[in-house]
Amino acid sequence: MMIPALLSQGLLKSKEIYKYEDSYYYSLESIILTLAILALCRVKNIEQIKNVRSGEIGRLIGMDRIPESKCLRDKVHYLAKQNKATQWNEELMELWKDGITDHTDGELILYVDGHVSIYNGYKATLAAKYISRQKLCLSATSEYWVNDGDSLPYMVVTGELNEKLQEIIIHQIIPQLIKVGYIKSIEDPLTHPQTPQCTLVFDREAYDFDFFDKLWDQYRVAIITYRKYVKDKWADTDFEPYEIIDNEHKSTMQICEKDYERNSKKYREIRKLGTSGHQTSIITTHPTMNILYIALYMFNRWTQENFFKYMMANYNFDQIIEYGTESIDPEIKIVNPTYKKYNNQIKKLREKLSRRKAHLYQFTNDQTELTIDEQKKMDIKKGAIVAEIQQMKEQEKELINLRSEQTYHIKLKDMPTEQQYDKLKTQSKLVINIIKMICYRAETAVANIVSEALSSKTDEKRMLVKQIIQTPADIFPDYQNNTLTVTIHSMSNQRYNQAVQKLIEVLNEAKAVFPGTELLMLFKSTAS
């Protein structure tokens, strides 16, 4: 029942992008469908094919069996070698453009965030990244995702080293949005109307006012993000109540807006007053958006975090698809590792020095009520601490001199050969990421249909979709009438059967044709 949803999300757009040999036993349609069906069935990697009923899944793609794991790995590698994953993503973005979610007069609202995958191998020399979920710096790769307000993914790009989110947005995301027509290139920003083409929502990782100004001046792209370094507090009487209706539940949010001025430029600052008195500050360059929408969009950023969490739990999001490494442009500039090493040593030494100074200060305060003998002992201890502090200061000067001999940035080629960074193979991961992206969108589309028949729409809809995917079905091809009848077995309760019946009505109205044939797909249920 998921195949029509997969087709509607552009799964077979891949046929227009990739070249494929007609002599292969498995067609490109069969390979792409197999990968999508395995993802929906929560088969988390290609090796797990050995544990599934290959004949039964093979019937879902119109074959006697699905490819074995070695064959499927070879076909993924064959597609990856063509380096067309980004082009496929762009074609899909054009297909999805008309259905993008927006809630304020047709404005384009996009969420941007990075996802870090830990690398536990030994072949690649990757830059260390901070893993917030483990609170450690580890070798890892970064992917940057663009989603809409309903967490539907639109784009994924891969970072090579430790690029900041600002760099990814300016050099990869914005050019791709321009290329697919989501926004237009502005030749003369001064003559362009003061209306944003797009609003990007992200967290504090991309917090930089020069970056905000650049997005607005060069592309007329507005931003919404949390403000950092908030020290003042607004009066509680400044805040006004705003009513929110979410899934028929009413709530009230206390919000206030004031101008925030920096370097003679004004920005809009919106704050939400919590029940505990805490004030959450939001900054935006959008000139006209209602402050309630600004707050809702910012707090709705958690939909993207939930998307990452769901993909990690259900789609093996961090899986390495193809082992091996690729070289990085040797001219690219990176932070000098030697400079960073000396800088970290200075930081740790200064922390230790501040602790010793505090210890010395405590000794000085405690000497007021000591006897002469106790004071002599205390003076000896103080002398040892003073000597230690002096030694630390000399070490600090030495480290500062060593650091000053190093440049902050160097080219990758200037690193020692054995330490030079490389990257994991990215194209195969992008191919699988796009297929999983399509699967998630298809799953969401089906979940939204069945939710109309469920009382607990948010909690039950995805659970029901998983049950539909796992439920047995009978397939009856009729080559005389060119139909393919799919009869799904009964669900676990009557409410779910009613929801499935609603889905069947929608699927039959769509009149989907099974890939590679002229057979019209018809759906039934044994419970009807």
Residue range 234-281, pLDDT digits in tens: 999 999 999 887 666 788 899 999 999 998 899 999 999 998 999 999
Cα first-last separation, the chain: 16
In this structure, is residue 388 part of a structural domain?
yes
In this structure, is residue 24 part of a structural domain?
no
In this structure, is residue 456 part of a structural domain?
no
d(CA 354, CA 360): 10
User: Hey, what are 209's tokens?
Assistant: 């006012």
**Model confidence, pTM:** 0.88
User: Per-residue pLDDT for 355 more than 80?
Assistant: yes
User: Hey, what are 311's tokens?
Assistant: 């993909």
pLDDT at residue number 258? 94
Per the model's pLDDT, the better-predicted residue between 477 and 528 turns out to be 477
In b/e form, how buried is each residue of 195-215, taking b as 16+ CB within 10 angstroms? ebbbbbbbbeebbeeebbeeb
Q: Which of these, 272, 267, 263, lies nearest to 289 by C-alpha position? A: 267
In this structure, is residue 81 part of a structural domain?
no
The 10 Å Cβ neighbour count of residue 338 is 17
Asked if residues 165 and 114 have their Cβ atoms less than 8 Å apart, the reply is: yes
Query: Where do runs of H (alpha helix) occur along 2-81?
Result: 3-8, 14-17, 28-40, 54-60, 69-80
User: Hey, what are 315's tokens?
Assistant: 């789609």
Displacement of CA 14 from its chain's centroid (Å): 23
250 beta partners:
245
pLDDT at residue number 22? 85
d(CA 156, CA 112): 10
User: Per-residue pLDDT for 369 more than 90?
Assistant: no
In this structure, is residue 244 part of a structural domain?
no
Displacement of CA 487 from its chain's centroid (Å): 37
Asked if residues 521 and 514 have their Cβ atoms less than 8 Å apart, the reply is: yes
The amino acid at 365: N
Q: Mapping DSSP to helix (H, G, I), strand (E, B) and coil, where does residue 256 land?
A: strand
pLDDT band at 419 (very low <50, low <70, confident <90, very high): confident
The amino acid at 434: I
d(CA 176, CA 89): 10
Pairing of β 221-226 and β 198-201: parallel
Q: Which of these, 244, 235, 272, lies nearest to 256 by C-alpha position? A: 272
User: Per-residue pLDDT for 102 more than 60?
Assistant: no
In this structure, is residue 452 part of a structural domain?
no
Q: Is 222 exposed, middle or buried (0-12, 13-18, 19+ CB in 10 A)?
A: buried
Asked if residues 293 and 275 have their Cβ atoms less than 8 Å apart, the reply is: no
Asked if residues 201 and 110 have their Cβ atoms less than 8 Å apart, the reply is: yes
Helices 494-510 and 427-450, axial angle in degrees (round to 10)? 110
Count structural domains, the chain.
1
**Sequential DSSP letters for 154-217:** EEEEE-SSS--HHHHIIIIIHHHHHHTTSS---S-GGGS-S--SEEEE--GGG--HHHHHHHHH
d(CA 523, CA 3): 12
Q: Where are the beta strands (DSSP E) in 310-421?
A: 325-326, 333-335, 409-411
Question: DSSP assignment, residue 93?
Answer: H
Mean pLDDT of 56-76: 89
pLDDT at residue number 57? 86
d(CA 404, CA 199): 42
The per-residue pLDDT for range 137-152, each reduced to its tens digit, is 888 889 999 999 889 9
In this structure, is residue 282 part of a structural domain?
no
In this structure, is residue 353 part of a structural domain?
yes
Mean pLDDT of 327-341: 88
Asked if residues 269 and 283 have their Cβ atoms less than 8 Å apart, the reply is: yes
pLDDT at residue number 120? 85
362: containing domain: 337-406
